[in-house]
Amino acid sequence: MVIELNFEYTPFIDFHTHQLRHAESDDILEILSINFGENKVKNLYTIGFHPWSCGENFSEPNLDAVSQIFEDDEKCLGWGECGLDKLIDCDATNQLLIFEQQLDRANRLECSIVIHCVRAYDTLLKLKPNYPKIKNWVIHGYARHEILAKTLMNAGFYLSIAPHEKSSLGLLKTMREMPIDRLFLETDSASWLDIRHIYELVSKERKMDLDDLKRQVIENCKNFF
């Protein structure tokens, strides 16, 4: 399934959010992340089984249901978020099993996938070559240093970030130096911020015209999904 994203205007794209805050705004397009079992929305969205749910609602029939949603609903852009989180109180072996089964489905569908990853980057890098038909991979809420960012991007990952004035020096360096065609901007990992503020910061720090940045992120979305 190929999703065509056609825009007659140049919106700010909030690439990853769990809460629609600007549904009526003409200048902001929000891509909602839905954990399976939540209600679908009229907006563009992705859907999967979040690691924080620790397997709640996870089953073979529900994997089938998510696969069918992706195939049937043109507003469903991809799979996720799903992934691994070593900081939560949830069995690591079970987390990995659930993640791998979702990767297998995304591989069959040849769709793109949104990843939640906390202190499990080595595992993620080892897993990626096993699923060559997944169209594209993005790590949302990336907030680490530029060395790891380069390793991930060299392995083919996109990064979705939410930089702000108090971000770590490593993230700010990543934001300034990363290839612009691998970049997405979001509010989920900095929900107190307005997506327009994030764009303005990135535009200023990269010495890039704001409209050019907006157009680039739109192009990245078209290529990613």
Banded pLDDT at 179 (limits 50, 70, 90): very high
Which residue, among 199, 138, 225, has the nearest Cα to 13 in the 3D structure?
199
| Residue 1 predicted with pLDDT over 50 | no
Cα 31 vs. chain centroid, distance in angstroms? 9
* 133: CATH: 3.20.20.140
List the domain range (segments joined by +) for residue 75: 12-224
Q: What is the pLDDT of residues 113-157, one digit of tens each?
A: 999 999 999 999 999 999 999 999 999 999 999 999 999 999 999
Q: How many CB atoms lie within 10 A of CB 124?
A: 18
Of the chain, the percentage scoring pLDDT greater than 70 comes to 98
Q: What is the pLDDT of residues 57-103, one digit of tens each?
A: 999 999 999 999 999 999 999 999 999 999 999 999 999 999 999 99
The upper half-sphere exposure of residue 222, i.e. CA atoms within 13 Å in the direction of its Cβ, equals: 10
Residue 1 lies in a domain: no
Residue 208 lies in a domain: yes
Residue 2 lies in a domain: no
pLDDT at 4: 60
Spatial contact of 108 and 79, defined as CB atoms under 8 Å apart: no
Residue 4 lies in a domain: no
Per the structure, the count of domains in the chain is 1
